[in-house]
Structure 1
Amino acid sequence: MSTTKYFFFVAALAALSFKFLQLTGAQLTDPSEVNALKAIRSRLIDPLGKLNNWEVGDPCTSNWTGVICYNLTLSDGYLHVIELQLFRRNLSGTLAPELGRLSRMTILDFMWNNINGSIPKEIGNITSLKLLLLNGNRLSGSLPEEIGYLPNLDRIQIDQNHISGEIPKSFANLNKTKHFHMNNNSISGKIPAELARLPKLVHFLLDNNNLTGHLPPEFSSLPELLILQLDNNNFNGTSIPDSYVNMSKLLKLSLRNCSLQGPVPDFSQIPQLGYLDLSGNNLTGNIPSNRLSNNITNIDLSNNHLSGTIPSNFSGLPNLQKLLLENNNLSGSVPSNIWQNMNFTGNKSLILDFRFNNLTNLSDTLNPPANVTILLTGNPVCENANQLQIDRFCQVQSVQMNETATNTGNICTCPMGYEYNPLSPLPCFCAYTLNVEYRLKSPGFSYFQPYYYDFEHYLTNGLRLFLSQLNIISFVWEEGPRLKMELRLFPTDSTIFNSSEVLRIRNMFTGWEIPDSDIFGPYELLDFELGHYGNNELLNPSSSKLSTGAVVGIILGAVAVAAILSAVVTILIMRRHSKSQMVSKKRLSSKIPIKIDGVKDFTYEEMELATHKFSSSTQVGQGGYGKVYRGILADGTIVAVKRAQQDSLQGSKEFFTEIELLSRLHHRNLVSLVGYCDEEDEQMLVYEFMPNGTLRDHLSARSKEPLNFPTRLRIALGAARGILYLHTEADPPIFHRDIKASNILLDSRFTAKVADFGLSRLAPVPESEGTAPGHVSTVVKGTPGYLDPEYFLTHKLTDKSDVYSLGVVLLEILTGMQPISHGKNIVREVTMACQSSMVFSIIDNRMGSYPSECIEKFVSLALRCCLDETDARPSMTEVVRELETIWRMTPEADTTASESTATDSGMKATPPSSSSDSRNPYVSSDVSGSNLLSGAMPTIIPR
Structure 2
Amino acid sequence: MTNLVGVLYAVILLVLCAGYVDVARGQTTDPTEVNALKAIKASLVDPSNKLKNWGSGDPCTSNWTGIFCDKIPSDSYLHVTEIQLFKMNLSGTLAPEIGLLPQLKTLDFMWNNLTGNIPKEVGNITTLKLITLNGNLLSGSLPDEIGYLMNLNRLQIDENNISGPIPKSFANLTSIKHLHMNNNSLSGQIPSELSSLPALLHLLVDNNNLSGPLPPELADTRSLEILQADNNNFSGSSIPAEYSNIRTLLKLSLRNCSLQGAVPDLSVVPKFGYLDLSWNQLKGSIPTNRLASNITTIDLSHNFLQGTVPSNFSGLPNIQYLSVNGNLLNGSVPPTIWSNITFTGNRALVLDFQNNSLDTIPPVFEPPQNVTVLLYGNPVCTASNAARAANLCQPTSVTDAPSGEGKQVSTTCFPCPTNFEYNPSSPIPCFCAAPLGVGFRLKSPGISDFRPYKEAFENDLTSLLELRVYQLYIERYIWEAGPRLNTHLKLFPNNTNLFDMAEVVRLREVLAGWQITLLDVFGPYELLNFTLGFYADEFRTAASPGLKGGALAGILVGTIVAAIAVSVFSTVFIMKRRRKQRTISRRSLLSRFSVKVDGVKCFTFDEMAVATRDFDISAQVGQGGYGKVYRGNLADGTTVAIKRAHEDSLQGSKEFCTEIELLSRLHHRNLVSLVGYCDEEDEQMLVYEFMPNGTLRDHLSAKTERPLSFGQRVHIALGAAKGLLYLHTEANPPIFHRDVKASNILLDSKFVAKVADFGLSRLAPVPDIEGTLPAHISTVVKGTPGYLDPEYFLTHKLTERSDVYSLGVVFLELLTGMKPIQHGKNIVREVNIAYQSGDVSGIIDSRMSSYPPECVKRFLSLAIRCCRDDTEERPYMADIVRELETIRSMLPEGEDVLSSTSGSGLLAKSMSSSSTTTTGALYVSSHISGSGQADSGIPSGMVAPR
- Work out which of the two has the higher radius of gyration on C-alpha atoms and give 1 or 2: 1
What is the TM-score when the length of structure 1 is the normalising length?
Answer: 0.54
User: 2:578 matched to 1:558?
Assistant: yes
Alignment of 1:38-77 (within 5 A): 38-45=21-28, 47=31, 48-49=33-34, 50-52=36-38, 59-60=45-46, 65-66=52-53
Alignment of 1:900-915 (within 5 A): none
CA shift, 1:426, in A, is 2.7
CA distance in 2 between partners of 1:480 and 1:435 (Å): 24
CA distance in 2 between partners of 1:308 and 1:562 (Å): 78
SS in 1 for 2:255: coil
SS in 1 for 2:339: coil
Say whether the 8 Å CA contact 2:20–2:43 is kept in structure 1: no
Alignment correspondent of 2:524:
522
Say whether the 8 Å CA contact 1:66–1:540 is kept in structure 2: no
What is the TM-score when the length of structure 2 is the normalising length?
Answer: 0.54
> Do the aligned partners of residues 537 and 326 (structure 1) sit closer, same or farther apart at CA in structure 2, a change above 3 Å counting?
farther
SS in 1 for 2:122: helix
Alignment correspondent of 2:102:
103
What do the CA deviations read for 1:707-760 (whole angstroms, capped 9, x no partner)?
xxxxxxxxxxxxxxxxxxxxxxxxxxxxxxxxxxxxxxxxxxxxxxxxxxxxxx
Say whether the 8 Å CA contact 2:315–2:339 is kept in structure 1: yes
What do the CA deviations read for 1:417-441 (whole angstroms, capped 9, x no partner)?
2211132233422100000011000
CA shift, 1:557, in A, is 3.7
Say whether the 8 Å CA contact 1:60–1:81 is kept in structure 2: no
Look up the equivalent residue of 2:20 and give its one-letter code.
L
What do the CA deviations read for 1:287-334 (whole angstroms, capped 9, x no partner)?
000000000000000000000000000101000001100100000000
> Do the aligned partners of residues 56 and 361 (structure 1) sit closer, same or farther apart at CA in structure 2, a change above 3 Å counting?
closer
Alignment correspondent of 1:220:
219
CA shift, 1:539, in A, is 10
SS in 1 for 2:83: strand
Look up the equivalent residue of 1:413 and give its one-letter code.
F
> Do the aligned partners of residues 63 and 295 (structure 1) sit closer, same or farther apart at CA in structure 2, a change above 3 Å counting?
closer
> Do the aligned partners of residues 56 and 455 (structure 1) sit closer, same or farther apart at CA in structure 2, a change above 3 Å counting?
closer
Q: Percent identity?
A: 52
CA distance in 1 between partners of 2:171 and 2:464 (Å): 31
Alignment of 1:116-127 (within 5 A): 116-127=115-126
Alignment correspondent of 1:456:
458
CA distance in 1 between partners of 2:50 and 2:217 (Å): 48
Alignment of 1:223-234 (within 5 A): 223-234=222-233
Say whether the 8 Å CA contact 1:528–1:538 is kept in structure 2: no
> Do the aligned partners of residues 407 and 531 (structure 1) sit closer, same or farther apart at CA in structure 2, a change above 3 Å counting?
farther
SS in 1 for 2:507: helix
Alignment of 1:544-943 (within 5 A): 557-558=577-578, 560=580
User: 2:182 matched to 1:159?
Assistant: no
Say whether the 8 Å CA contact 1:65–1:540 is kept in structure 2: no
CA shift, 1:96, in A, is 1.0
Alignment correspondent of 1:746:
none
> Do the aligned partners of residues 134 and 35 (structure 1) sit closer, same or farther apart at CA in structure 2, a change above 3 Å counting?
same
Say whether the 8 Å CA contact 1:28–1:60 is kept in structure 2: no
Structure number with the bigger relative contact order (C-alpha 8 A, sep ≥ 6) is: 1
CA distance in 2 between partners of 1:458 and 1:552 (Å): 48
Q: Gaps (5+ residues) in structure 2?
A: 56-66, 68-74, 547-570, 585-946
Alignment of 1:276-295 (within 5 A): 276-295=275-294
SS in 1 for 2:18: helix
CA distance in 2 between partners of 1:248 and 1:56 (Å): 45
Alignment correspondent of 2:272:
273
> Do the aligned partners of residues 366 and 561 (structure 1) sit closer, same or farther apart at CA in structure 2, a change above 3 Å counting?
closer
CA shift, 1:215, in A, is 0.7
Say whether the 8 Å CA contact 1:529–1:536 is kept in structure 2: no
> Do the aligned partners of residues 533 and 313 (structure 1) sit closer, same or farther apart at CA in structure 2, a change above 3 Å counting?
same
Say whether the 8 Å CA contact 1:321–1:447 is kept in structure 2: yes
CA shift, 1:515, in A, is 1.4
> Do the aligned partners of residues 53 and 169 (structure 1) sit closer, same or farther apart at CA in structure 2, a change above 3 Å counting?
same
Look up the equivalent residue of 2:307 and give its one-letter code.
G
Look up the equivalent residue of 1:416 and give its one-letter code.
P
Say whether the 8 Å CA contact 2:352–2:375 is kept in structure 1: yes
Look up the equivalent residue of 2:157 and give its one-letter code.
I
> Do the aligned partners of residues 541 and 207 (structure 1) sit closer, same or farther apart at CA in structure 2, a change above 3 Å counting?
farther
Say whether the 8 Å CA contact 2:416–2:422 is kept in structure 1: no
CA distance in 2 between partners of 1:283 and 1:54 (Å): 53
CA shift, 1:413, in A, is 2.4
Say whether the 8 Å CA contact 1:528–1:537 is kept in structure 2: no
SS in 2 for 1:331: strand
CA distance in 2 between partners of 1:120 and 1:58 (Å): 24
CA distance in 1 between partners of 2:435 and 2:574 (Å): 35
Alignment of 1:112-261 (within 5 A): 112-261=111-260
CA shift, 1:93, in A, is 1.5
Look up the equivalent residue of 1:498 and give its one-letter code.
D
Alignment of 1:358-437 (within 5 A): 358-407=357-406, 409-411=408-410, 412-417=413-418, 418-437=420-439
Say whether the 8 Å CA contact 2:381–2:393 is kept in structure 1: yes
Q: Gaps (5+ residues) in structure 1?
A: 1-11, 70-75, 545-550, 565-943
What do the CA deviations read for 1:548-569 (whole angstroms, capped 9, x no partner)?
xxx99977643548999xxxxx
Alignment correspondent of 1:768:
none
CA distance in 2 between partners of 1:480 and 1:295 (Å): 21
CA distance in 2 between partners of 1:431 and 1:337 (Å): 49
CA distance in 1 between partners of 2:182 and 2:476 (Å): 25
Say whether the 8 Å CA contact 2:198–2:222 is kept in structure 1: yes
Say whether the 8 Å CA contact 1:145–1:171 is kept in structure 2: yes
SS in 2 for 1:502: helix
CA shift, 1:509, in A, is 0.8
CA distance in 1 between partners of 2:378 and 2:541 (Å): 57
Alignment correspondent of 2:17:
34
Say whether the 8 Å CA contact 1:529–1:535 is kept in structure 2: no
Q: CA RMSD in A?
A: 3.2
> Do the aligned partners of residues 88 and 77 (structure 1) sit closer, same or farther apart at CA in structure 2, a change above 3 Å counting?
closer
Say whether the 8 Å CA contact 2:274–2:295 is kept in structure 1: yes
CA distance in 1 between partners of 2:452 and 2:574 (Å): 54
CA distance in 1 between partners of 2:538 and 2:394 (Å): 46
> Do the aligned partners of residues 28 and 166 (structure 1) sit closer, same or farther apart at CA in structure 2, a change above 3 Å counting?
same
CA shift, 1:37, in A, is 1.8
> Do the aligned partners of residues 336 and 101 (structure 1) sit closer, same or farther apart at CA in structure 2, a change above 3 Å counting?
same
Alignment correspondent of 1:819:
none
CA distance in 1 between partners of 2:272 and 2:42 (Å): 55
Alignment correspondent of 1:296:
295
CA shift, 1:408, in A, is 5.3
> Do the aligned partners of residues 152 and 552 (structure 1) sit closer, same or farther apart at CA in structure 2, a change above 3 Å counting?
farther
CA distance in 2 between partners of 1:496 and 1:375 (Å): 50
What do the CA deviations read for 1:666-692 (whole angstroms, capped 9, x no partner)?
xxxxxxxxxxxxxxxxxxxxxxxxxxx
CA shift, 1:541, in A, is 6.1
> Do the aligned partners of residues 265 and 540 (structure 1) sit closer, same or farther apart at CA in structure 2, a change above 3 Å counting?
farther
CA distance in 2 between partners of 1:539 and 1:183 (Å): 37
What do the CA deviations read for 1:609-649 (whole angstroms, capped 9, x no partner)?
xxxxxxxxxxxxxxxxxxxxxxxxxxxxxxxxxxxxxxxxx
Say whether the 8 Å CA contact 1:503–1:539 is kept in structure 2: no
Say whether the 8 Å CA contact 1:217–1:241 is kept in structure 2: yes
CA shift, 1:83, in A, is 1.1
What do the CA deviations read for 1:229-254 (whole angstroms, capped 9, x no partner)?
00000111011111100110111000
> Do the aligned partners of residues 19 and 233 (structure 1) sit closer, same or farther apart at CA in structure 2, a change above 3 Å counting?
same
Look up the equivalent residue of 1:52 and give its one-letter code.
K
Say whether the 8 Å CA contact 1:434–1:530 is kept in structure 2: yes
CA shift, 1:341, in A, is 1.8
